[in-house]
Amino acid sequence: MTSDPAVWTAPQVERPDGSLTPPERELLQGYLDFYRTTLLYKCAGLTAEQLAERPSPPSNLSLLGLIRHLTKVERIWFRIHFAADPAEPLFAPELGKDADFELIDPADAQAAYDGLIAEWKLSDEAAANHSLDDRFTFGGTESTLRMIYIHLIGEYGRHCGHADLLREQLDGVTGA
């Protein structure tokens, strides 16, 4: 589904609060959910055109690219690697690892935004009812569900920092 980039704007979001002393699984999920929504918080109120803008040449970073990239990362780690789901890779992987950043179109912003939220639900379903110690193998290396949570928290944290800078360059908005 495509949207009119002159009309659609990213909706406002509320970031979740959580305890700082819950059991480990709840703590990891809480931090992941906080960073997930922080990315959308950084996009709130921007038009599709603004989300697709690359305000820091020669970098290919845009907020829309970050949305697409993190959708891909969620799918790869939770569904393809951990759950062995035959889900198709996203964003033309045959064109290289940066296709999620390069092949962006403002007309696809709403679909990409909605796709990220849908992928979160699928990721959470893939991890539900599994122990953090449950193992999987990818590329000949054994790992655990715990590592996925820690990896994604770091991935989102890093990219939320990028989103801070991009947002400030787009419209001057700074802060949490």
d(CA 56, CA 128): 39
d(CA 19, CA 27): 8
**Which CATH architecture best describes the domain 33-171?**
Up-down Bundle (1.20)
What integer pLDDT is reported at residue 6 of this predicted model? Answer: 63
Domain ranges within the chain, ordered by starting residue? 33-171
What integer pLDDT is reported at residue 45 of this predicted model? Answer: 95
Tokens 């949490």, residue located: 176
More confident residue, 149 or 174: 149
Helix (H) or strand (E) holding 144: strand 141-144
Burial 7-22, CB ≥16 within 10 A → b, else e: ebbbeebeeeeeeeee
The DSSP bridge partners found for residue 9 are: 47
What integer pLDDT is reported at residue 18 of this predicted model? Answer: 82
d(CA 62, CA 53): 6
d(CA 131, CA 157): 24
What integer pLDDT is reported at residue 138 of this predicted model? Answer: 87
Taking Cα atoms as reference points, which of 72, 49, 53 lies closest to residue 62? 53
What integer pLDDT is reported at residue 5 of this predicted model? Answer: 61
d(CA 39, CA 121): 16
92-113 confidence digits (pLDDT tens)? 766 767 888 988 999 999 999 9
37-63 confidence digits (pLDDT tens)? 999 999 999 999 999 999 988 999 999
More confident residue, 120 or 17: 120
Residue 64, pLDDT > 80, answer yes
d(CA 157, CA 74): 14
